Every structure is written in C-alpha cells, then in structure tokens.
C-alpha cells in the first residue's frame, strides 16, 4: 500500500476516534504509533521511532515558556489583579451606555496580559463582573456573553499558551508571535466594546449607565492596577527589545506576580493550589502535544502534508479563497473540538499550504488563534460558555449561548479586518 494512502487512512481513523469521544492526544498517539509500525521496515523500528518523539521535543528550551505563562495566570488571581482591574474599568467606563460591560472587556484584556488561559479568565470574571452587572440591572445575556467573549482575548494577548503551542508546532519565533498578538488583541477588545455600546445605545435598558464617580475617585483606582502594567512592561519589553527570551520573560513575570501575591496576603494553601493547578494544566497540554507530535511524524513519513499542499496550490483558486476555506474549516472544527487539539490536528496539514501560498507564518498564527477563540464560544462545545454557566448556574446555558452571538459577529469583523490588512499584525515584528 502506498505511504500516501496509509496517511489518508490514518487521518480518517484519527477523526473517527475523536468523533467517538477519545481524547485527541491519546487518539493521535495511537494512530501515529500504529501508522509508523506499518510504514517502517519492521514494527519494532516504528515503535522506537514513536517512543523517541516525546523526548526529542520535550527537551527543547522553548517549551519551558509554557508552564511559566500558565503559572502567571493562576498567581495573578491571588495578587488581586482581577479585582483591581475591574474596579478601575468600572469607574472609568461605567458612565457610558453599557459601560459596565465595556469596562469588563477592558478589565479582561488587562488581566489577559498576565494570564495564559482563557478558561481561567472566564471563571474569574464570572465571579467578579457578572454579579455587579446583574446588580446594576444589566441584561443577563449581555452580562454572561461579554464575560465569555472577553475571556477569548486571553488567547491573543500575551502571555498566550495557544500562541506558544503554535510556535512549537510550526517552529517559528515564539517571541515574535507573542509580541504580534498585542495589536490584534487590542483591536478585538475595541470591536467588542463598540458592539456593546451600539446595542446599549439602541436599547438603554440592556445596560444602564453607572454614575456617581468623581474624577478623584477614578484616579484613585489607578494605583491598584500598577502591578498589571509592571508585569506587562516586563514581558513585552523583554521580548520586543530582546533583553530576555520568552522563557526568561515568562519567569520574570511569574516571579513578579508571585511577589505581588505575597504582598496582598496570599497564604500557603493558595500558593499550593496555584502551583498544583498550573502543573495539572501543563501536564495535560504536554500530553496532547506528545500525542500529536507522534501523529505528525507519521504524517511526515506518509508525505500527506506535502501532497495536500501541492494539490491545493495546483487548484485554480485565488489564495484568498483558499484561506477563507481554511477559516471555515477552523470555525466548524471549533464547534466540536478544544482549541489545542484542533490546532495540533490541523496545522501539520494547513501550514505548508499557507506558506506555499506566500502568507506570513506570524500572521497565520494570529489568525488561527483568533479562530480558535471563536471556537471557545460556539456551541455545542463552547468551553468558555460552559465555564461561565458552571460559575453562574442561575444563568441558563441557553442564555449564555444567546448572549455570545453578537460577539461572534464582532470576531468575524476582526478576522475580516486582519485578513484585509495583514500589516496590522506584522508591522510590530517587521525586521
């Protein structure tokens, strides 16, 4: 049997196992290992090849950035960065129609700069922001939707675990990826806030204004946000000006947040919980990476990515049409798969196609992560929506999903804008 045929059968088997509910990391490792055993001169050689992949990839220095960024997010909660950012946003934006929801968007964006996990942002702000919005008589669908949608900013604004994973898979500069995520993250936050403002201007009862704060009270809220800006400055300046690698910037950020958490009274039990949660999430991500990398090695032997790239390039279609088809695939897959599994499954096939069409790998990484963020919102999986509902069971899951659709539309606008003007992504990392 031809290697390419074996590769196609293997890819179909992986999709089938994923649909049946098998965890993507285990399914990929199983299919990849069996495929290598079939394709190598003897089964033992294939088994040994599969066994060396996790070690070969895990010893790379670049992977050490992942646990650092995850730890920053868990420690940030105990450093009260969520509370201070939300209070400042409330005082500065509350006077606008829907101002509390707009303030939530910017508070989540600020927290995203010291957090690497969207689900953590969704859980934290569901506890902090939703009660305040409901107390102010906000529409509960808007309140739940803005928290769920705002949490997806975490996937773009560094430190971002998804951008790190993309960089590891396709082997591009993680530092450039993380720096490039800032501007698209800010654009996404602005588009979200305009959507909220427009809806609440049209229907003021949806998001009443919050009044009563004086200018001195607004300025008094700013010192509490200083830890966030300090950590942002350390991470961004280190990677942008090159005085720190992404891992060193992550370690420095984690240490800074740890110091702030101690200052605000973090107890030993809380530190232990943060370390354990960070370790659990890191192990889960690494397990998925190992399994997918075994599968990728199998696809390499089968030459499936190269054959697919050659076939797509040979089609009589404009490159932008092919990109839009890839977008559609990501949106559909995002309805059924988690972001990490989806990226690891598709990038070995799609990345060679995109590069052969002449697109920038940094730009494509930002687009993939943005599309993965949409997948965090759309049913039936919609992990961010499930997290919000888990924290606030008094808001039915159906209402949460209804609340996110205006923000999914906003994400489509952002994707269109970044596709039409790719320099918005790449100008900041241009050589």
* Same domain, residue pair 7 and 137: no
* Same domain, residue pair 175 and 36: no
Which of the listed residues 302, 322, 352 is the one where a domain comes to its end? 302
Q: What is the 3-state secondary structure (H, E, C) of the chain?
A: CCHHHHHHHHHHHHHHHHHCCCCHHHHHHHHHHHHHHHHCCCHHHHHHHHHHHHHHHHCCHHHHHHHHHHHHHHHHHHCCHHHHHHHHHHHHHCCCCCHHHHHHHHHHHHHHCCCCCHHHHHHHHHHHHHHHHHHCCCCHHHHHHHHHHHHHHHHCCCCCHHHHHHHHHHCCCHHHHHHHCHHHHHHHHHHHHHHHHHHHHHCHHHCCCCCCCCHHHHHHCCHHHHHHHHHHHHHHHHHHHCCCCHHHHHHHHHHHHHHHHHHCCCCHHHHHHHHHHHHHHHHHHHHHHHHHHHHHHHHHHHCHHHHHHHHHHCCCCCHHHHHHHHHHHHHHHHCCCCHHHHHHHHHHHHHHHHHHCCCCHHHHHHHHHHHHHHHCCCCCCCHHHHHHHHHCCCCCHHHHHHHHHHHHHHHHHHHHHHHHCCHHHHHHHCC
* Same domain, residue pair 4 and 84: no
Based on the structure, what is the number of domains in the chain? 2
In a domain, 345, yes or no: yes
d(CA 118, CA 157): 10
φ, ψ for residue 151, nearest 5 deg = -65, -25
* Same domain, residue pair 169 and 206: yes
* Same domain, residue pair 97 and 155: yes
d(CA 340, CA 321): 25
* Same domain, residue pair 89 and 55: no
Residue 202 half-sphere exposure, CB side, CA atoms within 13 Å? 6
In a domain, 371, yes or no: yes
In a domain, 180, yes or no: yes
Would you give per-residue pLDDT tens digits along the chain (431 residues)? 777 788 888 888 887 887 777 777 788 888 888 888 888 878 888 888 888 877 776 676 667 777 887 788 778 777 777 778 888 888 888 889 999 999 889 888 887 777 766 777 787 788 888 888 888 889 999 999 999 998 888 888 877 778 888 888 888 888 888 888 889 999 999 999 999 999 999 998 888 988 878 888 889 888 888 888 888 888 878 877 878 877 788 888 888 888 888 888 888 888 888 888 888 877 877 787 788 778 878 887 887 777 776 777 677 788 888 899 889 888 887 877 777 777 877 888 888 888 888 899 999 999 999 998 888 888 877 878 888 888 888 888 888 889 999 999 999 999 999 999 999 988 887 76
Q: Which domain holds residue 399?
A: 60-266+303-429
d(CA 146, CA 132): 13
* Same domain, residue pair 42 and 184: no
Indicate the pTM of the whole model. Answer: 0.82
* Same domain, residue pair 179 and 30: no
In a domain, 272, yes or no: no
φ, ψ for residue 394, nearest 5 deg = -70, -15
């Amino acid at each position: 049997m031809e290697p390419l045929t074996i590769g196609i059968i293997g890819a179909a088997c992986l999709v089938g196992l994923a649909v049946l509910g098998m965890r993507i990391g285990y399914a990929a490792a199983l299919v990849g290992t069996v495929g290598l055993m079939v394709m190598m001169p003897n089964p033992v050689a294939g088994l040994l090849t599969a066994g060396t992949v996790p070690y070969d990839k895990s010893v790379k220095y670049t992977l050490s950035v992942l646990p650092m960024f995850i730890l920053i997010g868990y420690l940030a909660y105990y450093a009260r960065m969520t509370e201070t950012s939300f209070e400042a946003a409330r005082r500065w934006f509350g006077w606008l129609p829907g101002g509390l929801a707009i303030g939530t968007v910017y508070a989540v964006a600020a927290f995203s700069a010291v957090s690497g996990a969207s689900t953590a942002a969704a859980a934290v702000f569901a506890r902090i922001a939703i009660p305040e919005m409901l107390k102010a008589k906000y529409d509960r669908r808007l309140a739940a939707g803005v928290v769920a949608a705002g949490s997806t900013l975490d996937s773009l604004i560094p430190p971002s675990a998804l951008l790190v994973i993309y960089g590891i898979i396709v082997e591009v500069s993680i530092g450039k990826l993380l720096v490039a995520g800032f501007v698209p993250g800010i654009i996404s936050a602005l588009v979200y806030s305009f959507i909220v403002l427009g809806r609440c201007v049209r229907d003021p009862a949806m998001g009443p204004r919050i009044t009563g704060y004086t200018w001195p009270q607004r300025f008094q809220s700013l010192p509490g946000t200083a830890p966030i800006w300090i950590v942002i400055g350390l991470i961004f300046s280190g990677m942008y000006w090159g005085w720190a690698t992404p891992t060193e910037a992550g370690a420095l950020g984690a240490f800074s947040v740890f110091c702030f958490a101690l200052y605000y009274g973090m107890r030993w039990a809380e530190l232990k919980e943060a370390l354990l949660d960070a370790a659990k999430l890191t192990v889960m991500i690494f397990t998925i990476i190992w399994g997918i990398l075994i599968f990728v090695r199998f696809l390499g032997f089968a030459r499936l990515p190269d054959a697919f790239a050659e076939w797509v390039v040979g089609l009589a279609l404009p490159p932008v049409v092919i990109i839009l088809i890839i977008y559609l695939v990501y949106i559909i897959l995002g309805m059924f798969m988690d972001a990490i599994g989806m990226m690891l499954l598709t990038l070995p096939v799609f990345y060679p196609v995109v590069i052969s069409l002449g697109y920038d790998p940094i730009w494509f990484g930002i687009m993939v992560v943005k599309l993965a963020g949409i997948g965090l919102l759309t049913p039936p999986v919609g992990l961010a929506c499930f997290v919000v509902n888990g924290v606030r069971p008094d808001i039915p899951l159906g209402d949460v999903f209804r609340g996110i659709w205006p923000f999914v539309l906003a994400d489509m606008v952002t994707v269109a804008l970044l596709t039409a003007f790719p320099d918005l992504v790449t100008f900041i990392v241009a050589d």
